[in-house]
Chain A
Amino acid sequence: MDGTDVMSSYWRGVRNALPFLFVVGPFGMLFGVVATDAGLNIFETLMFSIVVIAGAAQFTAVQLMQDNAPTIVVLVSAMAVNLRMAMYSASITPHLGPLPLWKRMFVAYFLVDQVYAASIIDYEERPQQSLTEKFAFFMGVATPICPPWYLFTLVGAWAGEAVPPELGLDFVLPIAFIALFAPALRTGAHRAAALVAALMALAFAFLPYNLGLIVGAVAGMMAGAEIERRAGMQADRRPGA
């Protein structure tokens, strides 16, 4: 393995991930605005993005803290939003699992939605890559995604301190979440999971500590999994399938 190949893998990763700047930029700024709107100062907002580095979970936590939910509920809800990261970890392990421990820790820290998506697509398209090339590509992808996430959070926090609270930014967050999950409703199972989750969350909204969120989410996951299981059984029965 010579150094040129590693560098070209790194830069290929950077190039592939550049378009994600247009997602990370507005979302990072939005988090900065929403967090300062909720009462966090600039340093707290920035540290949130550096330590946690998980947009949807950060939005969830800020929303729940604003609603004065108990700390344990904030943590459990944020982790529930982040559970998909465990799937990313499972899915990328066949490619990057053989790395030394300290490199795997880097990979784990940077394994956010867009970095995972760009990397796994490339690994599947080019299965011939060596472990070193895969790692270089991964770090290349992370470069235009993760540091800009911190930077844009900071910009948003500065802007947010200048925005008067009565401007009604309360609805920016629900819109942002809808924009995140609506394009992901690809199959009947996904749509059923979303619908059941929303309805159950409304039906159990009377529960204390925002437990309605947990009830809704678990019910939605069970609905999606069950429909997928039945669809799979039908596919198995089809002749020639």
Chain B
Amino acid sequence: MKDLWIVIIGMGLGSFALRFVFLGLVGDRAMPDWLLRHLRYTAVAVMPALVAPLVIWPSATGGETDPLRLAAAAAALIVGYFSKSLYGAVGAGAAVMIAGAWLPI
């Protein structure tokens, strides 16, 4: 895979820097509110932005929208949202994918 080691070492340094930045360099000084407010939504913004195109245009079907994958994603989202359980969500998504592979729809 192209540039694999650049990615591994670059990500290693970058991840460490992100975790060290405040512990090591900022200390106890307060951060501006507007920055904290944006940082709070990083995880719930980045992951949906990453996943949405993969769900709508899956690479495995050559980019064609697939009802089964849509249903699996919806099941994982709904179960994860209401049960607050990571396992419940993975289980629901996997169950739909497996059911779709076995049932002659």
A interface list, Cβ under 8 A from B: 22-23, 26, 38-40, 44, 47-48, 51-54, 56-58, 60-61, 63, 65-68, 71, 74-75, 77-90, 92-94, 96-97, 101, 104-105, 107-109, 111, 168, 170-185, 189-190, 193-202, 205, 212-213, 215-225, 228-229
CB distance B21 to A89 under 8 Å? yes
Question: A202 to chain B: closest CB distance in Å?
Answer: 5
Known: A178-B80, A197-B44. 18 other contacts (CB 8 A): A40-B1, A65-B7, A75-B7, A83-B46, A84-B39, A84-B42, A87-B36, A168-B60, A175-B94, A179-B90, A180-B47, A182-B80, A183-B80, A194-B48, A197-B52, A213-B46, A216-B49, A225-B34
Q: How far is the CB of A63 from chain B (nearest CB, A)?
A: 8
B24 at the binding interface (Cβ < 8 Å): yes
The tally of residues in B whose CB lies under 8 Å from a CB in A reads 71
Among A39, A174, A219, A225, chain B packs the most CB atoms within 10 A around the CB of A174
Residues A79 and B58 in contact, CB atoms below 8 Å apart? no
Contact A202 B52 (CB under 8 A): yes
Binding site of A, secondary structure by majority: helix, strand, loop or mixed? Answer: helix
Q: Could you say which residues of chain A place their CB within 8 Å of the CB of B69?
A: 171, 174
Q: Is the CB of B50 within 8 A of A213?
A: yes
Q: Given known contacts A93-B26, A171-B69, A185-B81, is B40 in contact with A88 (CB within 8 Å)?
A: no
Question: Which residues of B are found within 8 Å of A215, using beta-carbon distances?
Answer: 49
Tell me, rounded to whole Å, the shortest Cβ–Cβ distance linking B18 to chain A.
Answer: 4
Interface of B is mostly: helix
Q: Are A86 and B22 in contact (CB under 8 A)?
A: yes
Residues B59 and A205 in contact, CB atoms below 8 Å apart: no
Roughly how many angstroms separate A239 CA and B78 CA in the complex, as a whole number?
37
Residue among A22, A93, A101, A173 making CB contact with B54, cutoff 8 Å: A173
